[in-house]
């Protein structure tokens, strides 16, 4: 695994200075708009992109018309998101004609695919620069070239991935933060593009993770979410004898930190040691995202998930044995090639057996270059949609019943800010990760921990009142 050296980063810092000189000529403060698609890992990457932009003298805006630089950080997991990016970038051609100095960039997983970078170069000539996931730390150099050259700058390297510790990060202020503990994936589930665009599993040094979290706590962060495509594989590539459970235990000791969450866990790598560690670490929240993807063993095998329905259900049983109140969430793919009605019924069976708090479900999306993309598929789109609707119906009922059972209960919430739907309300999350909205009160602010009693329940959220007892 390649670690980006301090010398390489110093070179980038000197490019950053040169960009600043060019972009801020005449005392101007240029503005950047960074638009992020996809998962938390991408959000976390965008924080690093913003960190580098700030270093290069940029300020930030949410308005396209105000921006001197518009950058799309893209996702390759589903075709729909890719089409949206292409549509949005295509629509910017008029803005570019109106303002020829506008810089338009695209980066992230979608651009790491060779055919996509080619498409942009050939058909989207108003795009100034493109970079993939493995060259994110070279953004200053890429931007410097984009400011100095006429043609589209393409920086996409095929590699197993790098680790870079020195990229500046710019996070939104607040009590919560994401911390990546590892990158990439070795699992090659047959439907998934991630291992091709994010490289092989590589873990950060535990000391680097611990230092980052301690620094975050000093700035007022009290809740962190540890990120990795498969956090359960943490440490396998490190020389020291450490696994994810050990890391979790060490993070749990950090003074001032109150809540730890993590995602995502691959069921095949979830050890009993990790379950036991979660149960004894008081700061690890009772929440687990455990994707099962499909209930049928035949489909699980075709997906290369390397567990059976029985093994998955046994894992859930062992998790609940240690943590009876844990909130479980999952990912499900409906309509994997040749998933029959009988196969799909197995998925419904698992839903009913586990009773997840919530489910992230998607209709299978063919990804060029993955083994599943060339699998025979005789199932019609209408049958897939029918199954998808049925899954939502079953799960909505379960989520509703689980939320209804929260009525009258009191939870400790971390106040995250104003509710998105009502300016008179604040919003926060329970230890299990459920959103609760409650009326604003004098003296209660973002970052506080308050006890709230649930007074009304919905399928997706809860309403409550501050409890003074």
Residues that bind ligand SF4 (CB under 6 A): 185, 187-189, 192, 194-195, 229-230, 266
As measured in angstroms, the least distance from the Cβ of 169 to ligand SF4 is: 23
For ligand SF4, the closer of residues 127 and 185 by Cβ is 185
* Residue 90 CA: distances (Å) to CA of 68, 78, 227, 242: 17, 19, 32, 47
Q: Pick between residue 232 and residue 399 the one whose CB is nearest to ligand SF4.
A: 232
Question: What is the Cα 125 distance to its own chain's centre?
Answer: 30
Instruction: Tell the residue number behind the tokens 């499900």, with chain if given.
Output: 332
User: Minimal distance in Å, beta carbon 62 to ligand SF4?
Assistant: 30
Closest separation in Å from C-beta 198 to ligand SF4: 8
Q: Smaller CB distance to ligand SF4: residue 260 or 290? A: 290
Alpha helices in 38-91 (DSSP H): 40-55, 79-91
Displacement of CA 110 from its chain's centroid (Å): 15
CB of 110 to ligand SF4, least distance (A): 15
Of 161 and 195, nearer to ligand SF4 (C-beta) is 195
User: Between residues 85 and 192, which has the closer beta carbon with respect to ligand SF4?
Assistant: 192
CB of 373 to ligand SF4, least distance (A): 14
Among 15, 253, 287, 60, residue whose Cα is nearest residue 155: 15
Q: Please say whether the beta carbons of 108 and 130 come within 8 A.
A: no
- C-alpha–C-alpha distance, residues 205 and 217, integer Å: 19
Q: CB of 440 within 8 A of CB of 424?
A: yes
> What are the CA-CA distances from residue 52 to residues 12, 26, 58, 244 (Å)?
10, 21, 9, 29
Q: How far is the CB of 203 from ligand SF4 (least distance, A)?
A: 15
143 vs 227 by CB, closer to ligand SF4: 227
For residues 290 and 327, the answer to whether their CB atoms sit within 8 Å is: no
CA dihedral for 17, 22, 23, 26, sign (positive or negative): positive
CB of 115 to ligand SF4, least distance (A): 19
Given the complex with ligand SF4, which of 143 and 189 has the nearer CB atom?
189
Query: Cβ 109 to ligand SF4, closest distance in Å?
Result: 11
CA pair distance 104, 32, nearest whole angstrom: 10
Contacts of 152 (CB under 8 A, 6+ apart): 120, 121, 125, 127, 128, 129, 130
Q: Which is nearer to ligand SF4, 75 or 185 (CB)?
A: 185
Which lies closer to ligand SF4 via its Cβ, residue 213 or residue 333? Answer: 333
Q: Using the structure block, give the residue that is written with the tokens 């972009």.
A: 23
List the Cα angle 359/454/459 in 5-degree steps: 30
- Minimum distance of ligand SF4 from residue 233's CB (angstroms): 9
């Amino acid at each position: 695994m390649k670690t980006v050296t301090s010398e390489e980063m110093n070179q980038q810092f000197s490019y950053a200075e040169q960009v600043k000189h060019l972009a801020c000529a005449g005392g101007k403060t240029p503005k950047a708009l960074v638009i992020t698609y996809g998962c938390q890992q991408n959000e976390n990457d965008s924080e690093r992109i913003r960190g580098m932009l700030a270093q290069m003298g940029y300020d930030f805006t949410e308005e396209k018309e105000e921006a001197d630089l518009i950058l799309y950080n893209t996702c390759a997991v589903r075709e729909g998101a890719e089409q949206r990016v292409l549509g949005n970038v295509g629509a910017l051609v008029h803005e570019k004609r109106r303002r020829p100095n506008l810089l338009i960039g695209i980066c992230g997983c979608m651009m790491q695919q060779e055919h996509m970078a080619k498409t942009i170069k050939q058909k989207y000539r108003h795009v100034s620069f493109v970079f993939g996931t493995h060259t994110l730390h070279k953004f200053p150099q890429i931007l410097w070239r984009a400011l100095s050259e006429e043609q589209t700058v393409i920086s996409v390297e095929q590699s197993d991935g790098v680790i870079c510790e020195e990229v500046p990060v710019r996070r939104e202020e607040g009590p919560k933060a994401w911390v990546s503990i590892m990158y990439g994936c070795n699992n090659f589930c047959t439907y998934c593009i991630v291992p091709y665009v994010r490289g092989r599993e590589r873990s950060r040094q535990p000391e680097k993770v611990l230092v980052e979290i301690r620094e975050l706590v000093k700035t007022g962060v009290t809740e962190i979410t540890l990120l990795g495509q498969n956090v359960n594989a943490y440490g396998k590539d490190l020389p020291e004898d450490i696994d994810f459970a050990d890391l979790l235990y060490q993070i749990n000791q950090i003074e001032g930190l109150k809540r730890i969450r993590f995602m995502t866990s691959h069921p095949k790598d979830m050890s009993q040691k990790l379950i036991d560690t979660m149960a004894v670490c008081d700061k690890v929240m009772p929440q687990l995202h455990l994707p099962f993807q499909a209930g049928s063993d035949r489909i699980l095998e075709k997906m290369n998930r390397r567990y059976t329905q029985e093994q998955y259900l046994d894992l859930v049983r062992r998790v609940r044995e240690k943590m009876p109140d844990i909130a479980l969430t999952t990912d499900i793919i409906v309509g994997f090639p040749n998933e029959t009605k009988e196969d799909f019924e197995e998925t419904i069976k698992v839903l009913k057996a586990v009773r997840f708090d919530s489910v992230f479900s998607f209709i299978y999306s063919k990804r060029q270059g993955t083994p599943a993309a060339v699998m025979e598929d005789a199932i019609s789109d209408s049958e897939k949609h029918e199954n998808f609707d049925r899954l939502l119906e079953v799960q909505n009922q379960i989520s509703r019943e689980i939320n209804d059972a929260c009525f009258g209960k009191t939870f400790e919430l971390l106040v995250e800010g104003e509710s998105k739907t009502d300016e008179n309300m604040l919003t926060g999350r329970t230890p299990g990760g459920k959103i609760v909205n409650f009326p604003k009160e004098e003296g209660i602010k973002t970052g506080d921990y308050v006890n709230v009693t649930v007074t009304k329940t919905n399928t997706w959220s809860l309403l409550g009142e501050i409890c003074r007892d």
